[in-house]
């Protein structure tokens, strides 16, 4: 953030270094569509071109979102992912190509983050009341006992997943949940298909995660505000979404207070099986791919401000981590790559 002479805080502006001003394209208009998917909302903005009408755009969006839900949803019992999760032990389960690609990316993220990102943590998420079945707000729900937690952890572990020519190996009891990466993948594949349709200026957003390409008719990039955490008094930073994606994970998004008054975040640390308690309020990552921005923001949230910032620096990630100190005062730490984006 920058301060004016009068002491007012100015809005931070993040600009990719590859951004080049484009000449205005007179006579074209920006079109928008929106809808619902995966328990959230989607929106698409694009610069009109000859031969591509709104019906064609909506058809592409609907098709791509259907593929992601059909293959990767834990809420649809007939999805490819649920079929894998319910498969007998010691069997190879055929999986479609899109699901295989996301699982490969998830495994790479798990290794890179030391297990802070783990697609096999679904049962732990459910155990704390955030799964597709019994929720924390339902009557009779209680946090797990130590014995239950230990038994559940024994069934998890990203190292148990194997991918091969015959599909994905189900060792027995492995329950995968791709909610921290599939939404970003949906943004990427939708954006890619719309560009293949002939749209050069497009902005795709699903549940607050987005990716932009090209420019608007006036030659300006797609300017998007980065979501600030609750209670923030600072102006929201804005990003020129020009061939980049951005994703934000927040401890404040979902959670509850247990009977002792302790806040239980929906973000689970797969390494210990418990909701995070590291002071992180939100993490924003800017990346070329929304799938990886999505996954990295989750991993850095789990790791916390110090370890998360160190890993972001190691991988040259543009990341901003907002965390509260022991007095509840928020502080912001940013990676060198994030600061390189500041205009």
What are the tens digits of pLDDT across the range 102-121?
A: 999 999 999 999 999 999 99
The predicted model scores a pTM of 0.91
Is the residue at 82 inside a domain?
no
Is the residue at 148 inside a domain?
no
pLDDT of residue 294: 97
Is the residue at 208 inside a domain?
no
Mean pLDDT taken over the chain? 89
Is the residue at 52 inside a domain?
no
Domain that holds residue 254: 221-343
Is the residue at 303 inside a domain?
yes
Is the residue at 340 inside a domain?
yes
pLDDT of residue 21: 58
What is the spatial distance between Cα 283 and Cα 316, in angstroms, rounded to a whole number? 15
Chain-centroid distance of CA 333 in Å reads 20
pLDDT band, residue 231 (cuts 50/70/90): low
Kindly report, residue by residue over 40-84, the tens digit of the pLDDT: 999 999 999 988 999 999 999 999 999 999 999 988 999 999 999
- CATH number, domain containing residue 236: 3.10.520.10
What is the spatial distance between Cα 23 and Cα 218, in angstroms, rounded to a whole number? 7
Least confident of 220-234, 266-280, 304-318: 220-234
Is the residue at 337 inside a domain?
yes
pLDDT at 263 over 90: no
Backbone angles phi, psi at 78, to 5 degrees: -95, 5
Number of domains in the chain: 1
Kindly report, residue by residue over 115-149, the tens digit of the pLDDT: 999 999 989 988 888 876 666 767 777 888 999 99
What is the spatial distance between Cα 167 and Cα 129, in angstroms, rounded to a whole number? 30
What is the spatial distance between Cα 266 and Cα 179, in angstroms, rounded to a whole number? 12
Please check whether residue 82 is in contact with residue 74, taking contact to mean a CB–CB distance below 8 angstroms.
yes
pLDDT of residue 321: 95
Is the residue at 31 inside a domain?
no
């Amino acid at each position: 953030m920058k301060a004016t002479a009068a002491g007012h805080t100015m809005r931070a502006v993040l600009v990719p270094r590859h951004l080049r001003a484009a000449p205005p394209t007179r006579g074209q208009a920006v079109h928008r569509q929106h809808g619902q998917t995966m328990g959230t909302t989607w929106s698409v903005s694009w610069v009109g071109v000859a031969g591509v009408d709104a019906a064609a755009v909506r058809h592409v969006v609907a098709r791509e979102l259907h593929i992601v839900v059909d293959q990767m949803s834990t809420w649809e019992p007939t999805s490819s992912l649920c079929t894998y999760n319910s498969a007998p032990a010691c069997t190879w389960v055929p999986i479609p190509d899109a699901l295989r690609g996301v699982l490969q990316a998830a495994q790479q993220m798990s290794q890179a983050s030391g297990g802070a990102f783990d697609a096999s943590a679904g049962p732990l998420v459910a155990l704390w009341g955030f799964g597709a079945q019994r929720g924390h707000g339902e009557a009779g729900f209680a946090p797990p006992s130590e014995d239950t937690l230990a038994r559940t952890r024994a069934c998890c572990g990203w190292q148990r997943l194997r991918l091969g020519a015959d599909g994905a190996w189900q060792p027995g009891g492995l329950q995968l949940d791709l909610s921290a990466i599939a939404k970003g993948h949906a943004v990427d594949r939708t954006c890619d298909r719309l560009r293949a349709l002939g749209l050069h200026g497009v902005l795709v957003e699903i549940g607050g995660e987005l990716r932009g390409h090209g420019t608007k008719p006036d030659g300006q990039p797609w300017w998007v505000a980065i979501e600030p955490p609750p209670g923030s008094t600072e102006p929201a930073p804005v990003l020129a979404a020009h061939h980049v994606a951005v994703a934000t994970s927040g401890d404040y998004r979902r959670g509850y207070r247990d009977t002792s008054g302790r806040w239980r975040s929906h973000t689970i640390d797969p390494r210990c099986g418990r909701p995070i308690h590291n002071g992180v309020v939100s993490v924003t990552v800017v990346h070329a791919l929304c799938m990886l921005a999505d996954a990295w923001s989750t991993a850095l949230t789990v790791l916390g401000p110090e370890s998360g910032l160190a890993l972001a620096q190691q991988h040259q990630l543009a990341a901003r981590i907002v965390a509260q100190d022991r007095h509840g005062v928020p502080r912001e730490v940013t990676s060198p790559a994030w600061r390189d984006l500041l205009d």
